[in-house]
Amino acid sequence: MTTVVVTCTAPAGGLIQAQIDGKPVSGEVKLDKGNHPLTWHVFGAPGTRYSIEISEPENLKFKHEATLDNEQKDAGLHWIVI
């Protein structure tokens, strides 16, 4: 198993929900070998900045940062391959 560290940030008034393999995640999660979808949904006022990051392990590092537009929502997908 590999321990993956996921951090999600959004300012007050913003909401970010992240999942790996369809299960809510924030902080450390242990994953078996294979392909794992990291998905996120973000809601907030226009101009809300957010980020989602995998900080560990080194070989899986990933960071996505964005600013919400007038739609006031965003979503994304990143594959974690172990």
Q: Cα–Cα distance between 29 and 34 in angstroms, integer?
A: 14
Residue 13's pLDDT is what?
74
What pLDDT does residue 56 have? 95
Distance CA 51, CA 63 (A): 7
- Nearest in space to 82 (alpha carbons), one of 17, 25, 29, 24: 29
Note down pLDDT in tens along the chain; length 82 residues: 999 999 999 877 789 999 999 999 989 999 999 999 999 999 999 999 999 999 999 999 999 999 999 999 999 999 999 9
pTM: 0.91
